Structure 1
Amino acid sequence: MFRIRRRTALGLLAGGVSAAALGAELPDGIPDSGTLVRRLPSPVERENRAAGEPWWPTQDPGRDSDDHRRQIQGYASATSVAPGESIDFHVAVDPVGRYRISLHRLGWYGGAGARTVLTSPEFDGAPQPVPPADPTTGTIACRWPVSWTVRIPDDWTSGLYQAVFTSADGWRACTPFVVRDDRRAAAIAVVLPVTTWQAYNQWPMDRQHGRSLYNGYSETGRQTPDTRAMEVSYDRPYAGDGIPTHLARDHDAIQWLERNHYDVSYATSLDLHSGRLDPTRHAGIVFAGHDEYWSVQMRRAAERAVAASGSLAFFGANSSYWHIRVRSAADGRPERVVACAKSADDPGLDADGPTIRWREIGRPEQAMIGVQYNGIVDGRQPLVVRSAEHWFWAGTGVADGDRIPGVVCGEADGLDPTAPRPAASTATVLSASPYRTRYGRRQVQNTHLYGTPEGGLVFASGTLCWTAALNQPGYRDERIERATANLLDRITGRTRPVADTPARG
């Protein structure tokens, strides 16, 4: 008789499978009656039974704040908080006037997309300055006063939340934060890539001041990498209406996971960096979106999870590409600055090496993920199926060579024969999709899966548009949905979930 791990056994019981039916022996402390066990709803599943509503009004798009007039904007004091902890919001309003802050949890909610959990009283708002960039690093860090402090109630469900700032005359902007659940270990921990969100943030995009890790402005107001920042701060709003670049990819993953009743909780890349998220407590870690900027501590944590027989699923592409350093703010508050010099001439050089591409410091992303970034896709291209007989594609009806339209776009990953491969008990190429890069080069995208010697799985979609195929109207594809469910069911040990709505492509 074989013996299964406690974490897998709990997932099997939650899915309604008995150990006796498997011929398995449960770990100590888990009873087996020999009968099917009814699956209990997870906290996220219970949360989604509540009535929802759209979190971002669409009927009046002309009232979104912009970085030229900065009608209303704000930022949060933390990227994630747990129940019982507090978070501050810092808001600027121009001209002087009244405003409110509403907090919304993003999820499925029967298709509504969000639920409003709290609304502030009215406050008096005033303009706040754009501070000068640090002359050495290019960092723009605001020191606006605290506008509202919220203690996170004990009954708030883990998730991605948005604070929406709305002025009395109807202008609006927002900023994201995550509520963690440090008290229980969900089957899947979803990591939201806040380091990458901040790397792309060029607030304020006013043709004069804004800087990201990619661009700044020339004297003529043209975007240029020559004046980009080497360090960026969380102590500032996200540009424009406050919705980070690429957040929609994460939101698609969140909606699909919650629509399909997976037992999930949420954390950020900084939680992985700091150790607040212990990936070994979960059956699998899902990196939901574009997760490009990784610290040494993040990578060590992910590798530790794999060594402990855990599983990783990268739903995006171009993951763990840039090596970063996470620093404290000037006043000592931890984890408020992301540093990436993108040059061996790194003024913050330390024992972990310069903040350049991981592959340039001898640790290519392929060694952990199985594939690695190979280009920006010109348009939307089909995903070409390989290994159709593999369990990953079970129930999809695909055959080798089938083309699933529009799945390969944005950025893509592929196998690099010159880069080291991970230690694997099995490795399978699940797609081989020829594409042309934005710059005219011919490349091949690969979706990839390998099994680790310790018994885990590491999946890489190899495209930034995988989550669109899970959730986006017009791009949603039932074959990608079923294959993703096959993967997560194998990782968590649960029976196949039933979605609330049929797939439409």
Structure 2
Amino acid sequence: MGNSRVPKSGTPRAAAPIRRWESGALAHAVSDPFGQGPLPWLRGSEHYFDDTGQVVPWYLDHAPAPGARIPAPRSTTGPRTADDVHQQIKGFTSTGAAAPGDSLDFHITVDPPQQFSVDIYRIGHYGGDGAAKITTSPRLSGIVQPPPLTADRTVSCHHWWLSWRLQIPSYWNTGAYVAVLTTMDGYRSHIPFTVRDDRPADLLLLLPDVTWQAYNLYPEDGRTGASLYHAWDEDGSLLGESDAATTVSFDRPYAGAGLPLHVGHAYDFIRWAERYGYDLAYADTRDLHAGRVDPTRYRGLVFPGHDEYWSVPMRRTTEQARDSGTSLVFLSANTMYWQVELSPSPSGVPDRLLTCRKRRGPGKAALWREVDRPEQQLMGIQYAGRVPEPSPLVVRNADHWLWDATGAHEGDEIEGLVAGEADRYFPRTQLPEHQSRILLAHSPYQDGDGARRHQETSLYRAPSGALVFASGTFAWSPALDRPGHVDTRVQRATANLLDRICKRD
């Protein structure tokens, strides 16, 4: 998915019309060719035809060729996606992950004011549907909430009124959920949330909500919104990192359709893992930060998607997990790159503000490797750079048990599996202590300047006996269950890994 832009209707200023950006796609689309990923239970009603007559799914960021007709919706009867200029319906929850028996507070704005409903879906395999509807709210009264508050590019909606309180029944399964908001006149938006509990399980899945928020450009209105990557100037031009926010708030909706940019990576893993019956518990990375995760309850911690922003407590708990015998599975690349801090909201709610100073201002460096704690000391490899065009993953050490029954041979190429961003082993950087260590792929690719680079996939066994796997590519999770990207070799290799972890082999 490229850095494409679709003109938006409506002109808040007399200048050129505000362009349409969906769900932070502009912020980082070049380095995530998978975008949000398919949400099959919502796909049907919003397909567009591009200028060649091809059908383009609603979740792709699409721009017509210069001078081409803007494609019209294939169907005008289904729900339409709300946007950040008109704010037809947008919302967020004022708490992080919640447990069965807890309540979840939704803060929602509706313009024009009208009734709306909330359908709650749980992500899973569900016979290929990708999710199942769990419940529907009563009809709710929608109001236009006050404009977001901004201070030093930090955008917050913590002053929005409560719209609906969901009491989570004790019998609900833990998991990744999505609230689908729909107005009476047919506009739709989404709010992701997590239901967690403290029961022991084979695997704990950690949803990367800290990284999701770092990329959130809400509101993508050409004026107000800001992420840790972008903000706008007075003319509606998009500014880069040096002018972006240093602090972003969880008290705001996600941009565009209301789904985080990288949410699809986690959903791909969930659909696949639940299909094959793995015993999963769920939590957010803010739970890891806040000390609500006891790693001794699990045989492995799984980080399924792009998980770039880590606090000191997140790393400390994860290292303690490894050192106590709990295995770690990193299924993406560019993990634990930036060091961040979490702080309370203005009203005192913990962990509602995310700060990353990057390379600006006073204070310590924000890259883990610049404070002498490189990522490789935990994962065995670390971030190497972006991959402009998907490249094959080249199998190495094919006689290792990870590749058992995959059909993969030494030097085989798995097409398109090195994509988005890549990690590799850095010889001059300290490795973690290990009983054994192996690289399971060594894959050449060209960077944006045409220079030859390479990606690597790593596995090591810590002195505690814990296994630590790092895929070293964005494309691993999509290869598990993303239509058009599934690879049976990656599915089998992942099963080999998780089976060993679950059996403590």
What's the TM-score, normalizing by structure 2?
A: 0.84
Give the Å deviation of 1:343.
2.6
- Give yes or no for contact 2:299–2:504 (8 Å, CA) kept in 1: no
Distance (Å, rounded) in 1 between the aligned partners of 2:441 and 2:333:
14
Q: What is residue 213 of structure 2 aligned with on the other side?
A: 198
What's the CA shift string for 1:132-171, capped at 9, x where partnerless?
4213x63434411000001211111010001111000110
Q: What is residue 6 of structure 1 aligned with on the other side?
A: none
Q: 2:230 aligns with which of 215, 223, 226?
A: 215
> Secondary structure of 2:317's partner?
helix
1:242 aligns with 2:258: yes
What's the CA shift string for 1:241-277, capped at 9, x where partnerless?
1010110111101111111110001101001111111
> What is the RMSD computed on CA atoms of the aligned residues?
1.5
What's the CA shift string for 1:15-47, capped at 9, x where partnerless?
xxxxxxxxxxxxxxxxxxxxxxxxxxxxxxxxx
Distance (Å, rounded) in 1 between the aligned partners of 2:445 and 2:243:
32
Residues 355 and 94 of structure 1: is their aligned pair in 2 closer, same or farther, counting only changes over 3 Å?
Answer: farther
Q: Report matched runs for 1:430-445 at 5 Å.
A: 430-445=440-455
Identity of matched residues, %: 46
Residues 303 and 228 of structure 1: is their aligned pair in 2 closer, same or farther, counting only changes over 3 Å?
Answer: same
1:148 aligns with 2:164: yes
Q: Report matched runs for 1:215-294 at 5 Å.
A: 215-225=230-240, 226-294=242-310
- Give yes or no for contact 1:280–1:304 (8 Å, CA) kept in 2: no
Give the Å deviation of 1:77.
1.2
1:160 aligns with 2:152: no
1:79 aligns with 2:89: no
- Give yes or no for contact 1:102–1:118 (8 Å, CA) kept in 2: yes
- Code of the residue aligned with 1:378 in structure 2: it is P
Q: What is residue 24 of structure 2 aligned with on the other side?
A: none
What's the CA shift string for 1:270-300, capped at 9, x where partnerless?
0111111112210000001000000000000
Q: 2:201 aligns with which of 186, 207, 210?
A: 186
Structure with more strand by fraction: 2
> Secondary structure of 2:453's partner?
strand
> Secondary structure of 2:116's partner?
strand
Q: 2:45 aligns with which of 59, 66, 88?
A: 59
Give the Å deviation of 1:309.
1.1
Listed as ranges, the gaps of 5+ residues in structure 1 are 1-52, 496-505
What's the CA shift string for 1:417-458, capped at 9, x where partnerless?
121111111110000000112343321100100011111100
How many residue pairs get matched? 435
Q: What is residue 364 of structure 1 aligned with on the other side?
A: 374
Give the Å deviation of 1:57.
4.7
Q: Report matched runs for 1:28-177 at 5 Å.
A: 54-60=40-46, 63-135=80-152, 138-177=154-193
Q: 1:345 aligns with which of 361, 378, 383?
A: 361
- Give yes or no for contact 2:392–2:416 (8 Å, CA) kept in 1: yes
What's the CA shift string for 1:69-102, capped at 9, x where partnerless?
1111000112200111111001101111111111
1:300 aligns with 2:312: no
> Secondary structure of 1:409's partner?
strand
> Secondary structure of 2:459's partner?
strand
- Give yes or no for contact 1:382–1:405 (8 Å, CA) kept in 2: yes
Q: 2:462 aligns with which of 435, 443, 452?
A: 452
Q: What is residue 69 of structure 2 aligned with on the other side?
A: none
Distance (Å, rounded) in 1 between the aligned partners of 2:150 and 2:358:
18
- Give yes or no for contact 1:55–1:106 (8 Å, CA) kept in 2: no
Give the Å deviation of 1:355.
5.8
Give the Å deviation of 1:220.
1.8
Q: 1:483 aligns with which of 455, 475, 493?
A: 493
- Give yes or no for contact 1:54–1:115 (8 Å, CA) kept in 2: no
- Code of the residue aligned with 1:131 in structure 2: it is P
- Code of the residue aligned with 1:277 in structure 2: it is V
Q: 1:375 aligns with which of 385, 402, 409?
A: 385
- Code of the residue aligned with 1:374 in structure 2: it is A
- Give yes or no for contact 2:218–2:255 (8 Å, CA) kept in 1: yes
What's the CA shift string for 1:195-235, capped at 9, x where partnerless?
00000000011111100011101222111124311111111
> Secondary structure of 1:305's partner?
helix
- Code of the residue aligned with 2:204 in structure 1: it is A
- Give yes or no for contact 2:311–2:342 (8 Å, CA) kept in 1: yes
Distance (Å, rounded) in 2 between the aligned partners of 1:296 and 1:130:
33
Listed as ranges, the gaps of 5+ residues in structure 2 are 1-38, 47-57, 59-72, 74-79
- Give yes or no for contact 1:55–1:104 (8 Å, CA) kept in 2: no
Q: What is residue 339 of structure 2 aligned with on the other side?
A: 323
- Give yes or no for contact 2:446–2:453 (8 Å, CA) kept in 1: yes
- Code of the residue aligned with 1:261 in structure 2: it is G
Distance (Å, rounded) in 2 between the aligned partners of 1:427 and 1:412:
19
- Give yes or no for contact 2:117–2:182 (8 Å, CA) kept in 1: yes
- Give yes or no for contact 1:78–1:177 (8 Å, CA) kept in 2: no
Residues 291 and 446 of structure 1: is their aligned pair in 2 closer, same or farther, counting only changes over 3 Å?
Answer: same
- Give yes or no for contact 2:289–2:311 (8 Å, CA) kept in 1: yes
Q: Report matched runs for 1:379-394 at 5 Å.
A: 379-394=389-404
